[in-house]
Copies of this chain bind each other. A is one copy, B any other.
Amino acid sequence: MAQKRRVLLTIAYDGTDYSGFALQKTSPKPTIEGLVNHAIHALTGEEVCVIGASRTDAGVHALGNVAVFDTESPIPPEKMCFALNPLLPHDVRIISSRAVDKDFHPRHVPCLKTYRYHILNAPFDIPTRMRYVHRVPMKLDVDRMQEGALFLEGEHDFTSFCSVATQAENHVRKIEKILMKKSELSDKIFVDEESDDISEIILEITGNGFLYNMVRIIAGTLIQVGTGARNPEDVKTMLEAKDRRAAGPTAPPQGLVLNCLKFTEF
A residues adjacent to B (C-beta < 8 A) = 12-14, 61, 63-64, 90-93, 95, 114, 116, 124-128, 130-132, 183, 188-192, 204, 206, 257, 259-260
A63 near B257 with CB under 8 A, answer no
Q: Find chain B residues with CB under 8 A from A191 CB.
A: 114, 116, 204, 206, 259-260
A132→B130 CA distance, assembly (Å): 12
Complex A-B, nearest 5 residue pairs according to Cβ-Cβ distance, in ascending order: A14-B127, A192-B260, A91-B127, A114-B191, A191-B259
Q: Find chain B residues with CB under 8 A from A188 CB.
A: 183
A61 near B128 with CB under 8 A, answer yes
If A12-B125, A190-B260 are given as contacts, then 5 extra A-B residue pairs at C-beta distance below 8 Å, sorted by A number, are A90-B125, A128-B132, A191-B206, A191-B259, A191-B260
A192 to chain B, nearest CB (A): 4
A64→B189 CA distance, assembly (Å): 11
Q: Find chain B residues with CB under 8 A from A114 CB.
A: 191
Q: Given A114-B191, A260-B190, A61–B14 Cβ distance below 8 Å?
A: no
Q: Find chain B residues with CB under 8 A from A90 CB.
A: 125, 127, 130
Partner of A126, one of B12, B128, B131, B190: B12
Q: Find chain B residues with CB under 8 A from A61 CB.
A: 127-128
A128 near B192 with CB under 8 A, answer no
A41 to chain B, nearest CB (A): 22
Most B CB contacts (10 A, CB to CB) among A61, A90, A93, A191 go to: A191
Q: Find chain B residues with CB under 8 A from A130 CB.
A: 14, 90-91
Most B CB contacts (10 A, CB to CB) among A61, A91, A190 go to: A190
A115→B191 CA distance, assembly (Å): 9
A/B interface sample: 19 pairs, CB < 8 A: A12-B127, A13-B127, A14-B130, A61-B128, A63-B126, A63-B189, A63-B190, A64-B190, A90-B127, A90-B130, A93-B126, A93-B127, A95-B124, A116-B191, A128-B132, A183-B188, A191-B204, A191-B260, A192-B259
